[in-house]
Structure 1
Amino acid sequence: MEGNVSSQIGPQGATFKLGRFFFHWCVAFGIVILLAFQSLTALIVPSASDYEVSGPVSLLGSVALGIFAIYLGVTTYRLAHGEKTVIAERSAGFRILLLLAFAVLALIRGLWWIVDIAGGNADSVFNYVGMVWFTVAGAVGIPLAFMLFSARKEVE
Structure 2
Amino acid sequence: MEGNVSSQIGPQGAAFKLGRFFFHWCVAFGIVILLAFQSLTALIVPSASDYEVSGPVSLFGSVALGIFVIYLGVTTYQLAHGEKAVIGAKGAGVRIFVLLVFAVLALIRGAWWVVDIAGGNAASVFNYVGMVWFTVAGIAGVPLAFMLFAARKQHVGQV
Q: TM range, normalised to the smaller chain?
A: over 0.9
Q: What is the Cα-based RMSD across aligned positions, in Å?
A: 1.3
- Tell me, in whole angstroms, the C-alpha distance in 2 between the residues paired with 1:86 and 1:48: 48
Residue in structure 2 matched with residue 19 of structure 1 by the alignment: 19
Taking structure 1 as the reference length, the TM-score comes to 0.98
Matched residue, 2:48: 48
Aligned to 2:123: 123
Unaligned runs of 5+ in 1: none
Show the counterpart of 1:151: 151
Match in the other structure for 2:28: 28
Determine the structure 2 residue equivalent to 1:84. 84
Aligned residues of 2:2 and 2:83 also touching (Cα < 8 A): no
Q: Deviations over 1:13-33 (max 9, x none)?
A: 000000000000000000000
Q: In the TM superposition, what is the alpha-carbon distance from 1:49 to its structure 2 partner?
A: 1.1
Amino acid at match of 1:112: W
The answer to whether 1:39 aligns with 2:39 is yes
Deviations 1:61-87 (A, max 9, x none): 000000000000000000000101100
TM-score, structure 2 length as denominator?
0.96
Moved over 6 A (4+): none
Number of matched pairs: 156
Tell me the distance in 2 between the aligned counterparts of 1:2 and 1:38: 44
Q: Which residue of 2 aligns with 1:141?
A: 141
Give the Cα separation in 2 of the matches to 1:108 and 1:10: 29
| Letter of the 1:46 counterpart | P
Query: Could you tell me how far apart the structure 1 residues matched to 2:82 and 2:123 are?
Result: 42
Deviates more, 1:2-11 or 1:95-104: 2-11
Q: Which amino acid aligns with 2:10?
A: G
1:57 Cα shift? 0.5
Matching of residues 63-82 of structure 1 within 5 Å: 63-82=63-82
Report the Cα offset of residue 124 of structure 1.
1.1
The DSSP-based 3-state class of the residue aligned with 1:69 is helix
Using the alignment, how far apart are the partners of 1:100 and 1:125 within structure 2? 28
